[in-house]
Amino acid sequence: MRSILTLIYLLTLLIFAPSCSQTDDGYGMTVDTDRVANLDDRDVEIIQFVLESHSSDTRDRIYFLTPTPMSEWDEVGNWSDPPQKLIDFVSSNGNKYRPASGAFLKEGSVFQRGTNRKAWMRWITIKRWISDTEVEIEDGVWCCPMGGGVMTSIYEKIDGKWKWKAKGNGENWISCNKRRNRVRMPVSGHPPHTT
């Protein structure tokens, strides 16, 4: 049952906002060093795991990546960039996430700087470290009003490997515009995970 809900969650995020689709144009794969988030090695390690475990298909959309949670965005976004090693990591795995400084927010929608093309912002935020081997993460994606979602999860490191443990206590919702019926659905279950 949980895997069905997870599939519905991911499909909703990736399919129900077709107005945000576009092709890759190769713009901006380096971070703005003045806006880089201060993440330590364990932060980077868990974010890399989340990116590997729950990657989005970035082939037909422009995706940006930030550790800044949506609750801290302002009217133009004002996101922090992830460290360059995270951008390099996702690029080496075939994904094309770009640093958040290459995007801006206008009237609630994400656009690419320089081209004004519609885009997606993915945020992976460390909400809190519960212990040295357990962390609560907020993982979300947003393109425009009624086009996004977020899930808060707890991950645990067992025998040197990260694994999904439980749904967290934070934000869990999907916002979509399906056939002109605007829906904001709570999410239950958990995202898929690797073993």
C-alpha to C-alpha distance for 189 and 55, rounded to whole angstroms: 18
Specify the pLDDT at position 1: 54
Mean pLDDT calculated for residue range 43-52: 93
Say whether pLDDT at 176 is over 60. Answer: yes
Q: Which two tokens stand for residue 37?
A: 């988030």
89-138 per-position pLDDT tens digit: 877 776 778 999 999 999 999 999 999 999 999 999 999 999 999 999 99
List, for residues 21-32, the tens digit of each pLDDT value. 333 334 444 555
The alpha carbon of residue 29 and the mean position of all alpha carbons in its chain are separated, in whole angstroms, by 16
- What is the spatial distance between Cα 81 and Cα 177, in angstroms, rounded to a whole number? 28
| Cα–Cα nearest to 129, from 46, 37, 38 | 46
Distance between CA 166 and CA 45 in Å, rounded? 19
Beta bridge partners of 139: 124, 151
* Contact by Cβ (8 Å): 98, 65: yes
**Residue 174: pLDDT above 80?**
yes
Half-sphere exposure of 149 (CA within 13 A, CB side): 26
DSSP-based three-state secondary structure for 10: helix
Is the per-residue pLDDT at 184 higher than 50? no
Strand partners, 123: 66, 140
C-alpha distances out from residue 82 to 75, 122, 152, 189, Å: 20, 11, 19, 28
- Which of 128, 180, 127, 131 lies closest to 150, judged by CA? 127
Q: Which of 13-27, 34-48, 104-118, 147-161 has the lowest mean pLDDT?
A: 13-27
Q: Tell me what the pLDDT averaged over the chain comes to.
A: 78
Domain boundaries, the chain: 2-186
The share of the chain scoring above pLDDT 90, in percent, equals 48
Residue 85 is inside which H or E element, if any? helix 84-92
pLDDT at 12 over 80: no
Which residue spans within 9-158 are E strands per DSSP?
63-66, 97-99, 103-106, 109-112, 120-131, 134-144, 147-158
Instruction: Flag whether pLDDT at 76 surpasses 50.
Output: yes
